[in-house]
A and B are shown apart, each in its own frame.
Chain A
Amino acid sequence: MAKTTDKYERPLPARMGLAAEFYKYTKLHELRFQRCTDCGVWRHLPRPMCGECGSFNYEWARSSGKGKVYSWITVVQPMLPAFNDAVPYTVPLVDMDEGVRMVAIIQGVEPEAMKLGMPVEVFFDDVTDEITLPKFRAAG
């Protein structure tokens, strides 16, 4: 079903707590994850504390945006009307080069073409004036 309106009706991130920081950077078309400034370990989801060394110190370090597919689903039956025009759509888990794993929808790849270890990269989709979502596409 073609979209008949420009209004974006799919769910937007709630941006609770530190998640708001993550989306502040995607708005700038920058993919950043927390990195502990004491032990250097990257983390995602955003958290106040480093699970490796217990430090509360971190920076928002810039990701290369590149990674490899760890797993995926392909949604065939939409569970919300807002996804009626999206099915079938594929949502991979991606091992980012920095060592964290991230969820985002992938575009431009047929479900049958999905493979473990497939290289992908992030691009940015300004879905509303407020929100920019990182999404994946196949990397060369």
Chain B
Amino acid sequence: MTDSLKDKACIVGVGETRYTRGTNTTTLQDALEASSKALADAGLKPHDIDGIVSSAGLAPAPETLAANLGIRELKFAVGNTVGGGAAACAGLQIAALAIAAGLANNVLMPVGWHSYSGMRVRKLGSEVDLTTVPGPIGATIADFYMPHGAFVPAHFYGWMATRYVQQYGIKPEAPAAIALAARRHAHLNPLAFMRGRPLTLEDYLNSRVISYPFRLNDCCLETDGACAVVMTSAERARDARKPPVYISGCAEGHPYPDDDFGARPDLTHIGLTDAAPKAFQMAGVTPAELDFAEVYDCFTYVVLIELEALGVCKRGEAGDFVRNGRIELGGDLPLLTHGGLLSEAHLAGASHIVEATRQLRRECGERQVADAEVGVVTGWGDFGDGSIAILRR
């Protein structure tokens, strides 16, 4: 079963809007613009799409998208609410499953989010009623975290990061390496919101603490925009406009218990810890063979813990792994080659898929990873849900 989805589906189209802070558009308009560009990239027309996977809450409902795109025969529609920022990468698995089973031929996955102009995470509990937040986390936060002043991701991921820092003696230079690599790569990405805005180690170390252990520059951006991915079967992908990118391995994982971040026996055992070995096994690839990694980067410390979950280094050793430019372009394992959530824009993980696709097509110009053959994308969300896809050209 572990190889059942290997290379069955391919990414054949990607597209996105501009990434901004402040917008006159709606998330629907943005999702449609990104979808149109992804369809054009794939050489497909809207009526070729018969499956839609959207991250409900972060993209319009599949029915709304289909109505606007003029899709007459929608056969497979998923509004995936599970896992927050893990949902986009998990959507690759959902689409691959539908395509492999013959439920749909061509699947569109748009993600649109106005995290700057729309609902801001920091408004949880004030302008946003937590008890109406979909999924399990709203109720937990409202009843047991928020009365004590812990209610945004920087707070609950901070619990995990503090444990990690204290347990392994992680120095600030380790998360700084993540922030600096993301920024360096953003300078090479015309779409990146932070392009041209320098960040030095000194800037990082002097940036104010938001919530210990997170400094400002450990935290991702809030931006407006959308991106979209089009997938089809490996067979049909041979006729696509651009070189197909194969979904060689995919998996999702959920830590236990998934509805109470604080209660985990080992807080650094995340969803990805369970998911990663399955995806590598499915793909027949080892972590050492990766040419690049687009790791979900809501916070720098989360990236360190994900690197260990991926198995590119051992538990507690990510701080050493990221030193000396190893995770920058030209290093052993370039991370976040587009700048990530930290320095490009916050598309809830979907732009990581877009970037990985372009890297494997070798369309990335001055930020191209030389001879990129295989890469990994991860998702992370809610209380540590994880998803992973191993992609190859």
What is the interface of chain A mostly: helix, strand, loop, or mixed? Answer: loop
**Inter-chain contact A91/B152, CB cutoff 8 Å:** no
**Inter-chain contact A71/B211, CB cutoff 8 Å:** no
Chain B, residue nearest A78 (CB):
B149
**Inter-chain contact A73/B143, CB cutoff 8 Å:** no
Max chain A Cβ within 10 angstroms of own Cβ: one of B150, B160, B210: B150
Q: In residues 149-167 of chain B, which contact A (Cβ within 8 Å)?
A: 149-152, 155, 158-160, 162-163, 166-167
B residues engaging A (CB < 8 A)?
122, 125-126, 130-131, 139-140, 142-152, 155, 158-160, 162-163, 166-167, 208-213, 257, 259-260, 262-263, 267
Bound complex: CA A75 to CA B122 (Å):
13
Q: A11-B147, A44-B263, A91-B145 are in contact. List 19 more A-B contacts (CB 8 A).
A: A11-B142, A11-B146, A13-B142, A13-B146, A14-B131, A15-B143, A17-B139, A22-B143, A71-B267, A74-B209, A80-B125, A80-B151, A86-B149, A91-B148, A91-B150, A103-B148, A103-B150, A133-B147, A135-B148
Chain B, residue nearest A44 (CB):
B263
**Inter-chain contact B126/A80, CB cutoff 8 Å:** yes
Residues of B within 8 A of A124 (CB): none
**Inter-chain contact A76/B144, CB cutoff 8 Å:** no
Number of interface residues of A (CB under 8 A): 40
Residues of B within 8 A of A76 (CB): 208-212
**Inter-chain contact B149/A10, CB cutoff 8 Å:** yes
A residues engaging B (CB < 8 A)?
10-17, 19, 22, 44-45, 51, 70-77, 79-80, 83, 86, 88-89, 91, 93, 100-105, 111, 116, 131, 133, 135
Chain A, residue nearest B136 (CB):
A45
A29 to chain B, nearest CB (A): 16
A62 to chain B, nearest CB (A): 19
**Inter-chain contact B155/A91, CB cutoff 8 Å:** yes
**Inter-chain contact A71/B160, CB cutoff 8 Å:** yes
Chain B, residue nearest A12 (CB):
B147
**Inter-chain contact B144/A45, CB cutoff 8 Å:** yes
Residues of A within 8 A of B162 (CB): 71-73
